Structure 1
């Protein structure tokens, strides 16, 4: 029997001038969610249950913009997506384009367990949710006044704008010609993603990721978070959840590559994380968290900071933002 380990993230791309009060708010949320996971692991819940439980908690808080507090499309609507994967048997489920499902990650799990498919999207995902009797709310539940203001900024700048997590609009600066996504200019890149990875006391790994995507994104845009092997992956070896520039993560199949270099190159978990962040992101900015079946926990990112926390059965616990 091995010891359990857990990691959570709330996205990279942090403003270096993030006020201390906001930093503490983020750390408190990460700590609370870690403690939810730790309590579940101490009660011997399997890894797949724990990642769903923790991501549901993150989705319910507008601080990190997945679920409640989601980023808005160019039409001012919400299109959320999530995925979950059980490393034991490599079972997975994913959803995209959901607009009224209170917990997208739980719907993703239902796709895994209650449908013949791995991925449902838009009206099909919403219809499936209604048939399964999941909790649904009006689209307005997910929309915050702050994000309405962010969308207006993005439209005025005629660009994709991603709200830096937990920063009020007074701290948002439009930085023109700073970055590009697939050749198109974007302003102030930061993700709208949360995730959790767990290895339980039986050595079973699982991962889950949930997001609302980019502010002012085109309606119908799908990022890396619901794509198995890109934003989320779990197998017998490890569990991985990614966050950052979705288009770059998709091109690099980032989550699967962590497992692949462990399986085929014999790298340890942190070595594998460092390798894919360094070699697979091209010019993209992103980060990831990971656990291994040997109770290791690791993270990596190539931007200024990443909201993250981790804990292990032997008493180690860390919550941080910066390198």
Structure 2
């Protein structure tokens, strides 16, 4: 793959925001001349609808984990995105889903891969987290657990769309002519959401159909905790989208969270060390962690740097980030990323192309 461009970013420092929600619907070669006016409008409407679904929960004092699940369920039901209904086909003409979810307040997590009949894979991932002793279930076992949990089941062809079928046929035709199935025009249609609620808790969720024509049981980063999804109240919540093999190699989601956590701890220690002491050696005052946080510029710089590291290996894609201090951030090295952001302070906005504010 050609060398990566500089990460394209967009961040909002919501200051004392009571809640923040950031969503994505995939990244890749998403340019104005590749979308019709109708597609452009429909995708923006879908993003805005999903954003409002989660925002309503947070606005009413709901938990971040509930907001992100509800948001991702809406994106899974929309055929414009490669998740749930509208997911891409495997090489053999089936549809398989991957999803994961993580609660930053407890670092509890759940994930599934290769499911075939659960309408909302993100909800199945959450049930793995809350109703099983495990973190990660696959294939038939995950489907069986889903049935036991009473989750809505559908026939596999319910997820199919004509456009995804066309894409598979185009890929297979190109392969017959000796062309690579994994070219630079891939759009990584993964969906995801991250949030901070009024309690300062963060959470992240990601859901995908993977790559068109994927073979041999390929698994990308989306269901891998630490690669495509991660949440920790000590740092942030991250959901990723892009060339999964590279996100796995870098451990992108955990890497961003860990760097934010470590920088916060360093800054807090420095602030505490700067407090003057009285004649008895006692500090004039005490700086509590809840009174201290990183600036939006710090969060953006860390996200950009990790995306650049992944890009230097040959990968492309992006991340969304929400911190316990209310900052919402995007970072991506592709021409575009379907995305949206809302907070208690800043209203709501959606965007598609890399040059949008």
2:204 counterpart residue number: 207
Shift of 1:176: 5.3
2:331 counterpart residue number: 300
TM-score (norm. length: structure 2) = 0.82
Aligned equivalents of 2:343 and 2:178: distance in 1?
39
Task: Give 2:40's match in structure 1, choosing from 23, 30, 47.
Answer: 23
Instruction: Summarize the Cα distance change of 1:298–1:139 in structure 2 as closer, same or farther, 3 Å threshold.
Output: same
Q: Tell me the SS of whatever aligns to 1:64.
A: coil
Task: Give 1:188's match in structure 2, choosing from 151, 160, 185.
Answer: 185
Asked if the contact 1:80–1:212 (Cα under 8 Å) also holds between the matched residues in 2, the reply is yes
Aligned ranges 1:133-282 → 2 under 5 Å:
133-158=150-175, 185-186=182-183, 188-236=185-233, 237-266=235-264, 268-281=298-311, 282=313
Task: Give 2:146's match in structure 1, choosing from 123, 126, 129.
Answer: 129
Relative to structure 2, which stretch is displaced further, 113-122 or 149-158?
Answer: 149-158
Aligned equivalents of 2:111 and 2:350: distance in 1?
28
Asked if the contact 1:12–1:190 (Cα under 8 Å) also holds between the matched residues in 2, the reply is yes
Task: Give 1:88's match in structure 2, choosing from 105, 109, 123.
Answer: 105
Q: Tell me the SS of whatever aligns to 1:48.
A: helix
Task: Give 1:109's match in structure 2, choosing from 123, 126, 134.
Answer: 126
Provide structure 1 residue ranges, at least 5 long, that are not aligned to the other structure. 160-173, 178-183
Aligned equivalents of 1:88 and 1:19: distance in 2?
42
| Matching of residue 8 in structure 1 with residue 23 in structure 2 | yes
Shift of 1:186: 2.9
Aligned equivalents of 2:88 and 2:70: distance in 1?
22
Shift of 1:19: 2.1
Aligned equivalents of 2:164 and 2:248: distance in 1?
26
Shift of 1:265: 3.6
Aligned equivalents of 1:175 and 1:295: distance in 2?
49
Q: Say what the alpha-carbon RMSD is for the aligned residues.
A: 1.8
Shift of 1:315: 3.0
Asked if the contact 2:310–2:316 (Cα under 8 Å) also holds between the matched residues in 1, the reply is no
Q: Tell me the SS of whatever aligns to 1:280.
A: helix
Aligned equivalents of 1:175 and 1:212: distance in 2?
25
Aligned equivalents of 1:117 and 1:199: distance in 2?
25
Q: How big is each residue's C-alpha offset from its partner over 1:121-158, in whole Å with a ceiling of 9 and x where there is no partner?
A: 00110111111111000001001122111111111111
Shift of 1:273: 1.0
Q: Tell me the SS of whatever aligns to 2:124.
A: helix
2:59 counterpart residue number: 42
Instruction: Summarize the Cα distance change of 1:175–1:286 in structure 2 as closer, same or farther, 3 Å threshold.
Output: farther
Asked if the contact 1:102–1:135 (Cα under 8 Å) also holds between the matched residues in 2, the reply is yes
Q: How big is each residue's C-alpha offset from its partner over 1:250-307, in whole Å with a ceiling of 9 and x where there is no partner?
A: 1111111111111224472212111111123321111010000000000010010101
Instruction: Summarize the Cα distance change of 1:280–1:147 in structure 2 as closer, same or farther, 3 Å threshold.
Output: closer
Provide structure 2 residue ranges, at least 5 long, that are not aligned to the other structure. 1-15, 265-293
Aligned equivalents of 2:206 and 2:308: distance in 1?
22
Q: Tell me the SS of whatever aligns to 2:118.
A: coil
2:85 counterpart residue number: 68
Instruction: Summarize the Cα distance change of 1:175–1:210 in structure 2 as closer, same or farther, 3 Å threshold.
Output: farther
Shift of 1:175: 12
